[in-house]
Amino acid sequence: MKKKLFLVFVIVVILGFPHMEALADSVTDTISIHIGYFGWDEDQFVEKVTYHWQELDGMFGGVLNTHEVIYSYFSGNRTYLTAGRGFYIRDLLEYAGIDFGSISRIDFFTMDQTVGPYRSFTRASLFDMPRYYFPYLAANEGTGEIYADHGGDLYDGATHVQPMLALEDYAQWDSVGWMFEEVFDTSLFSATNRFRLFFGQLSPSEANTSSSAKYVYKLFITFTGTPVLSTEETNIELKVGNRFQMAVNVSAEDALLDSYVSENLIWTSDNENVVMVDAFGNLTVIAEGEAVITAAFGEASVSAAVRVGGAEVVPIAPIYPVTETGVGSGTGSGNHGDGVDSGNDPGLVQDANPDASADVGETVSETSDIMPEEPIMSTIIETREEPELIIVDNTSGMYILSAELMNRPEYAALVRSVLSRNNIETGGEGALSGARDGGMGADAVQLILPLHEPRSFMWVASLAFAVFFISGFGYGTLSFKRKL
């Protein structure tokens, strides 16, 4: 007999152990609050804060006052009385910085509910409608019919209660409130259900015992409406080759949502043959025409019209190096930057009067086959920031520096310096006008420099010849030594 009893005990322990382990794992020390909007998936909700229970428990130096409150419930045929010590949910949300008036719904997730929330409430049903504790609520054990235990009205002695997350609690089934109050003592409190949701009843007949969730570990706050998107750039004028970043302002119920929405906007262009847009709102202009750029998040969106014109091109004579005496007919001292060319000095006529550029054109025509000694474009390219400011014209073999680039004092100075060191003259009306004050002038739309590809063949030929010569010399020397 003893052996049978021992065997039964072992079986009960074995079968009960998984349940005990699961129960222990269900208790949590922290609770988190996540925020979002209707239609969002769970993984889209943004975690706003996470608190340890001691940080919140005013009895242990926490920030929230705790309250001891009794709640009544009805299961449909039985009564359920419980007492809890904890903090009001409204106080928790206010401490977390939640805009209470913007709340639409609250979802309560529990450790023993693996899929979705255990219980959901609208703000109106949980906070705006008055909830009560009914001390005389009783139920007939046979029929489940409710009645007033003291023979009066069920609403007699009803006390308004607020929704709470209890840190510790104690409960009894099939009891009446006034009798429960007589036997209850705070020494009966246990923290094994932390955090537990208590919220009372709207009426004595409301059957909501199963909604008294325990092991709550996170709240999902759903806000009303949607984020509002706006932009000041509703009409954008661009040129072919330009880049531009479109800025969108986000206004949501929380600053964290502002950031989240901004980082997850969906950008589209209705005409990618004209303007393309990436995931960060950067526009790349492809061709002339019109396009509408849209930034969207869920049902919220904002758009801007983009009109693209052709690149502004003012043809000028190419820039070539001068390695022999020029033939210009100008008269002057020949000093760099004095505005004239003596015909013997290969100076840079960067400050020349545009009307005097015809003489320079004659010099250009005689020296068009000579490449500069210094890699001008590599010097300029290494210092530039925006790639669209330099365009390669594959048809003419030229580099084109845009007017925007040439109007920057630092680039203008760089070009003057490099050209001067290479003894390069310029031709073409307005090519380098306005350099005197550090800028390049509004009419200096482009500066065109020749590519260096013509040099590549000479370099390769020279290198091949050198390798051939060195190899031949080495082979001859080795053969001579072998003969000796």
% of the chain residues with pLDDT over 70: 59
pLDDT tens across 303-314, in order? 999 999 976 544
Q: Among 73-77, 110-114, 413-417, which range has the highest average pLDDT?
A: 73-77
CA trace torsion 79, 84, 90, 91 (10° rounding): 170
Q: What is the DSSP string of 166-204?
A: EEEEEEEES--HHHHHHH--GGG-B-TT-SEEE--BSST
pLDDT tens across 137-181, in order? 999 988 999 999 999 999 999 999 999 999 999 999 999 999 999
Distance CA 344, CA 336 (A): 12
CB 269 within 8 A of CB 303: no
User: Which residues are CB-neighbours of 469 under 8 A, at least 6 positions away?
Assistant: none
Reading the block at residue 248, the tokens are: 């969108």
Q: Domains along the chain?
A: 26-223 (3.90.420), 228-309 (2.60.40.1080), 320-456 (no CATH)
Q: From the CB of residue 246, how many other CB atoms can be counted at a distance below 10 Å?
A: 20
The pLDDT confidence band at residue 71, using thresholds 50, 70 and 90, is: very high
Q: Indicate the range of 29-33, 273-277, 363-367 predicted with least confidence.
A: 363-367
- Does the pLDDT value for residue 347 go beyond 60? no
Reading the block at residue 132, the tokens are: 């009560």
